[in-house]
């Protein structure tokens, strides 16, 4: 008898097979038991009919507790009533390990309890669906960039200098030197782009975010493409094509997961390039005209501003040309204005906020040096970075997409903590 996974059942319709599985849930009457089986690859209903399997096997089925691990044998049957499309007519059960008093029962639990039990909570249908969607976003990210001639490059995680200022840095020791955990691989990716043309990275980044929001993690994963000979407007086109691509990939390959999450897919189906562009100037004006008197030109948006700005669109939007004073030192100034830079943030619809920050980078040596001085950065630490604009400098652009924000948006989950297996939050380092 063949041992298969639940995901492979469609290829074995009508056959008798063996599955390794856990009991996710169980309902039974005097004559029939319904076992919700999960094996990591998916979920399927196992049906045990007393009249067919006999008293002993039926008693075993009825006694199965939540999260008990089993080998089950049975016949794969097409079942139009279930979203999955198949069920298992069980003919044998072998208990591997009996689980007693699994803490996460089908009833409602509080968030802190679930977070304390994150290692077990991951087994739930909802968390399973989110992790599968996360995986599909990562898979389609690699596919998109590989298909478009990008090379994957891995920047270091332990660094001596950092682009984003010092307030949110995690400091550590590197033998006798001070070191920091990476907040962004960007500067290294710029160096890589000068060597390999179009590059992308995918790795963890760390920010000591002191405020609790539903959008910020302490440890999160970023996708950071960087492109030589690509100017600001061209970079926006790559960004909208990339985000459209991952949304369409999830729609195509995660139908069951989106359904399990009750995601309104009609909202995702609309996500196709091009995305609207709104200037920072217009965004401020719109906010001030619409009752937001808590922000003026020169200030960065907060979550309520981003949510309001994106609200009237059913697409992610770009907010472009932010004031030079609220953006990092390396952004290329606007050719006709010295008060704004060639940058854009991509704001997701449905209140999920900024998912991408990107810009064209300065490629003039003197200007870069001047900006480093103006920002009071340590020139010695940036000497290697200045070399990039010294030897064959070219216009180049790049961006960073936060994976967990994107997972939260596409999955439609309220809080970013559910979009990563083991979230690191202000007050949470365990499990
Ligand atoms: P925000 O304004 O929301 O704090 P940011 O402008 O500080 O974000 P960037 O430095 O532009 O963020 O980083 C690029 C992307 O990384 C952001 O667009 C977002 O998707 C993601 N990101 C930034 N900070 C966090 C965080 N603490 N947790 C999760 N994702 C984050
Ligand atoms: Mg921030
Ligand atoms: Mg921001
Ligand atoms: Mg940003």
What φ, ψ does residue 387 adopt, rounded to 5°?
A: -55, -30
pLDDT digits (tens, 9 = 90+) for 285-310: 999 999 999 999 999 999 999 999 99
Consecutive H or E run containing 227: strand 219-228
Token pair 């599968």 is found at 132
- Find the 53 Cα to ligand 3 centroid distance in Å: 61
Average pLDDT for 155-172: 80
Alpha-carbon span 171 to 178, nearest angstrom: 7
pLDDT for res 167: 78
Q: Minimal CA–CA distance to 247: which of 414, 405, 410, 130? A: 410
pLDDT for res 159: 92
Whole-prediction pTM: 0.97
CA-derived radius of gyration, the chain: 26
Give the number of the ligand closest to the Cα of residue 217.
1
More confident residue, 381 or 370: 370
Q: Whose CA is nearest to atom 25 of ligand 1?
A: 216
Average pLDDT for 68-97: 96
Residue 408 Cβ < 6 Å to ligand 1: no
- Find the 193 Cα to ligand 3 centroid distance in Å: 24
Q: Is 22 exposed, middle or buried (0-12, 13-18, 19+ CB in 10 A)?
A: buried
Give the number of the ligand closest to the Cα of residue 214.
1
- Sequence-distant (≥ 6) Cβ neighbours of residue 57 within 8 angstroms: 48, 92, 93
Residue extents of the structural domains in the chain: 2-97, 119-418
pLDDT digits (tens, 9 = 90+) for 206-221: 999 998 899 999 999 9
pLDDT digits (tens, 9 = 90+) for 227-274: 999 999 999 999 999 999 999 999 999 999 999 999 999 999 999 999
Give the number of the ligand closest to the Cα of residue 408.
1
Residue 44 Cβ < 6 Å to ligand 1: no
- Sequence-distant (≥ 6) Cβ neighbours of residue 277 within 8 angstroms: 236, 317, 318, 320, 344
Residue 200 Cβ < 6 Å to ligand 1: no
pLDDT for res 106: 86
163 pLDDT above the threshold of 70: no
Provide the phi-psi class of 418: left if phi over 0, else alpha when psi is between -120 and 50, else beta.
Answer: alpha
Residue 222 Cβ < 6 Å to ligand 1: yes
280 pLDDT above the threshold of 90: yes
pLDDT for res 253: 98
47 pLDDT above the threshold of 60: yes
- Find the 306 Cα to ligand 3 centroid distance in Å: 10
Average pLDDT for 106-115: 94
Mutate to test the pocket of ligand 1, among 202, 317, 357, 416 (most ligand atoms within 8 A of CB): 357
165 pLDDT above the threshold of 80: no
pLDDT for res 107: 87
Residue 268 Cβ < 6 Å to ligand 1: no
Q: Whose CA is nearest to atom 11 of ligand 1?
A: 357
Residue 349 Cβ < 6 Å to ligand 1: no
pLDDT for res 160: 85
Q: Count other Cβ atoms within 10 Å, centred on residue 372.
A: 20
Query: What CATH number has the domain spanning 2-97?
Result: 2.40.50.140
pLDDT for res 311: 94
pLDDT for res 161: 66
Alpha-carbon span 356 to 365, nearest angstrom: 27
Atom of ligand 1 nearest to the CA of 207: 27
Per cent of the chain over pLDDT 70 is: 99
Alpha-carbon span 267 to 218, nearest angstrom: 29
This model of the complex carries an ipTM of: 0.99
Mean pLDDT of the residues in the chain: 96
| Cβ atoms 21, 72 nearer than 8 A | yes
Provide the phi-psi class of 54: left if phi over 0, else alpha when psi is between -120 and 50, else beta.
Answer: left
Residue 162's pLDDT band (cuts 50, 70, 90) = low
164 pLDDT above the threshold of 70: no
Query: What CATH number has the domain spanning 119-418?
Result: 3.30.930.10
pLDDT digits (tens, 9 = 90+) for 400-413: 999 999 999 999 99
Peptide bond into 274 cis (omega under 30): yes
Query: Do β-strands 16-28 and 2-4 pair in parallel, antiparallel, or remain unpaired?
Result: parallel
pLDDT digits (tens, 9 = 90+) for 7-27: 999 999 999 999 999 999 999
Q: Minimal CA–CA distance to 294: which of 279, 310, 308? A: 308
Give the number of the ligand closest to the Cα of residue 209.
1
Quote the tokens at residue 402.
């936060």
Average pLDDT for 104-132: 96
pLDDT for res 365: 98
DSSP3 helix / strand / coil % (the chain, rounded to 5): 35, 30, 40
Print burial letters for 194-223: b (CB count within 10 Å at least 16), e (below 16). Answer: bebbbbbbbbebbbebeeeeebbbbbbbbb
Alpha-carbon span 173 to 178, nearest angstrom: 5
Cα–Cα–Cα angle for 409, 136, 102, nearest 5°?
80
- Report the residue count for the chain: 431
Q: Whose CA is nearest to atom 24 of ligand 1?
A: 216
């Amino acid at each position: 008898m063949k041992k298969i996974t639940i995901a492979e059942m469609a290829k074995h319709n009508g056959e008798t097979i063996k599955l390794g599985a856990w009991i996710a849930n169980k309902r039974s009457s005097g004559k029939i038991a319904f076992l919700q089986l999960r094996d990591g690859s998916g979920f399927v209903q196992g049906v045990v009919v007393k009249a067919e399997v006999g008293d002993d096997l039926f008693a075993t089925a009825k006694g199965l507790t939540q999260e008990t691990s089993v080998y089950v044998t049975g016949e794969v049957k097409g079942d139009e009533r279930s979203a999955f499309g198949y069920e298992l007519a069980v003919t044998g059960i072998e208990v591997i390990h009996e689980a007693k008093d699994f803490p996460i029962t089908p009833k409602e639990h509080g968030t802190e309890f679930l977070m304390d039990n994150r290692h077990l909570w991951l087994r739930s249908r909802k968390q399973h669906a989110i992790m599968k969607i996360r995986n599909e976003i990562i898979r389609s990210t690699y596919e998109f960039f590989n298909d478009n001639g990008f090379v994957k490059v891995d920047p270091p995680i332990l660094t001596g200098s950092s682009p984003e200022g010092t307030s949110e840095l995690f400091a550590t020791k590197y033998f006798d030197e001070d070191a920091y955990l990476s907040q962004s691989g960007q500067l290294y990716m710029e160096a890589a782009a000068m060597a390999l043309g179009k590059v992308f990275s995918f790795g963890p980044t760390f920010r000591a975010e002191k405020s609790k929001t539903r959008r910020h993690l302490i440890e999160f994963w970023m996708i950071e493409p960087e492109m030589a000979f690509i100017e600001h407007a061209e970079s926006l086109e790559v960004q909208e094509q990339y985000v459209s691509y991952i949304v369409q990939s999830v729609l195509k390959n995660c139908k069951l997961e989106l359904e399990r999450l009750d995601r309104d897919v009609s909202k995702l189906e609309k996500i196709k390039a091009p995305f609207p562009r709104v200037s920072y100037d217009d965004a401020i004006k719109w906010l001030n005209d619409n009752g937001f008197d808590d922000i003026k030109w020169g200030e960065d948006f907060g979550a309520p501003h981003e949510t309001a700005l994106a609200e009237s669109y059913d697409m992610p939007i770009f907010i472009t040309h932010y004031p030079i004073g609220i953006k990092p030192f390396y952004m290329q100034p606007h050719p006709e204005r010295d008060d704004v830079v060639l940058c854009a943030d991509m704001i997701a619809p449905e209140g999920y906020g900024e998912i991408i920050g990107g810009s064209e980078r300065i490629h003039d040596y003197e200007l870069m040096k001047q900006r480093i001085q103006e920002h009071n950065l340590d020139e010695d630490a940036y000497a290697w970075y200045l070399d990039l604009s010294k030897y064959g400098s070219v216009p180049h652009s790049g961006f960073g997409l936060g994976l967990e924000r994107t997972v939260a948006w596409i999955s439609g989950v309220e809080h970013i903590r559910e979009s990563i297996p083991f979230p690191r939050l202000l007050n949470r380092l365990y499990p």
